[in-house]
Copies of this chain bind each other. A is one copy, B any other.
Amino acid sequence: MLDATTAVETLTIDDMRAAHERIRPHIRRTPVLQSEFLNELTGAELFFKCENLQEAGAFKVRGACNAVFGLSEEMAAAGVCTHSSGNHALSLSYAAGRRGIPCNVVMPRTAPQAKKDAVRRYGGIITECEPSTSSREAVFAEVQARTGGEFVHPYNDPRVIAGQATCSAELLEQTGGLDAVVAPIGGGGMISGTCLTLSNLSPETAIYAAEPEQADDAARSFRAGHIIADDAPETIADGLKVPLKENTWHFVSRFVTDVQTASEQEIIDAMKLTWKTLRVVMEPSSAVPLATILRNRDIYAGRRVGVIITGGNVDLDRLPWMVG
């Protein structure tokens, strides 16, 4: 059984398969959508894996459920805890709620009210911190010490990575094979899971990571050959601000074909285009892959390309094209 300290080098495709069996009752097999318009526009055949239609609106329930349902009864009794201002907080609350164990989440007091409301709706217990790394770490240490809950990191955790890996396994089954897969990269959890699955089940499939130009630490890390962490990047793709960590760097450095970037305007344009043509609600982070595909048409033209739409939690009152 995996735990938080399992060396990611030892993860195998059987860990992905075990995760899939474990989480299947708690997640959705999300649909794969296509658009003739977007195919014509890009020259590629695009297959959009809609994790925005996943439980809790994000792929992160896969990893969260794998961590939560993999705990022994004894460990589960004390519950789980994490820090996150976004989809991981929602997803871990959802998973813990399904198992009926406590979930403590440290969130910055500045996090959107809608996100806080959603965490509470899933039964998560919020402790607020100041929006700084030092405050978050101090408050989280206190919460963890007090509750004794198992820490489930948003991405730097082998259980989480094995859970995220189930997404591209479904995508392969649903499409019958792909020449390339493009997914957003922030901390690298989804990309790492994608690498685990594809490097084993479909090693000929290229893996592209898509990143905002204004938070391009993964692209720079990839070229430098070691992790470079940005201090406080600013991008509309708020799910992608966090840096790589050692467990995700393992996969990114070994299996990713390239890290491609897109500008803020390209991300907004791709987001609106997807809402219009695929007719799904997705967050800015999820638009980065299409933005990079449109910027690199020559690479993707004529190929069968999987695109992972990672999440759909967005403030409908503050859509980027409503501003200005």
A53 to B33, CA, bound (A): 8
A95 to B171, CA, bound (A): 29
Contact of A53 among B121, B272, B279, B322 (CB under 8 A): B279
Q: List B contacts of A180 (CB < 8 A).
A: none
A interface residues, tally (CB under 8 Å): 23
Q: List B contacts of A57 (CB < 8 A).
A: 279
A36 to B61, CA, bound (A): 15
Contact of A317 among B278, B312, B316, B321 (CB under 8 A): B321
Contact of A316 among B52, B282, B321 (CB under 8 A): B321
CB distance from A93 to the nearest CB of B (A): 13
Interface positions of A from 268 to 308, Cβ below 8 Å from B: 272, 275-276, 278-282
A121 to B36, CA, bound (A): 11
A52 to B33, CA, bound (A): 12
A282 to B281, CA, bound (A): 10
A52 to B280, CA, bound (A): 9
A162 to B286, CA, bound (A): 38
B316, A275: Cβ atoms closer than 8 Å: yes
CB distance from A276 to the nearest CB of B (A): 6
With A321-B316, A321-B317, A322-B322 as known contacts, state yes or no: A52 contacts B272, CB within 8 Å.
Answer: no
Interface positions of A from 141 to 185, Cβ below 8 Å from B: none
CB distance from A206 to the nearest CB of B (A): 27
A276 to B279, CA, bound (A): 13
A37, B121: Cβ atoms closer than 8 Å: yes
Q: List B contacts of A319 (CB < 8 A).
A: 316, 319
Q: List B contacts of A322 (CB < 8 A).
A: 322
A312, B53: Cβ atoms closer than 8 Å: no
The answer to whether A43 has its CB under 8 Å from any CB of chain B is no
A312, B279: Cβ atoms closer than 8 Å: yes
A279, B280: Cβ atoms closer than 8 Å: yes
A272, B121: Cβ atoms closer than 8 Å: no
Q: List B contacts of A86 (CB < 8 A).
A: none
Q: List B contacts of A276 (CB < 8 A).
A: 281, 316
A53 to B52, CA, bound (A): 14
A279, B316: Cβ atoms closer than 8 Å: no
A243 to B160, CA, bound (A): 54
Kindly supply a per-residue 1/0 record for chain A positions 112-147, scoring 1 wherever the CB is within 8 Å of any chain B CB and 0 otherwise: 000000000100000000000000000000000000
Q: List B contacts of A37 (CB < 8 A).
A: 121
Given contacts A33-B53, A319-B319, 12 further A-B contacts (CB under 8 A): A37-B121, A52-B279, A53-B278, A53-B279, A53-B280, A57-B279, A275-B316, A276-B281, A279-B280, A279-B281, A279-B282, A280-B280
Identify 25 residue pairs between A and B in the complex whose beta-carbon atoms are under 8 Å apart, listed by A's number. Answer: A31-B31, A31-B53, A33-B53, A36-B55, A37-B121, A52-B279, A53-B278, A53-B279, A57-B279, A272-B316, A275-B281, A275-B316, A276-B281, A276-B316, A279-B280, A279-B281, A279-B282, A279-B312, A280-B280, A280-B281, A281-B281, A316-B319, A317-B321, A319-B319, A322-B322
The 7 closest A-B pairs by CB, nearest first: A279-B312, A279-B281, A31-B31, A52-B279, A275-B281, A280-B280, A57-B279
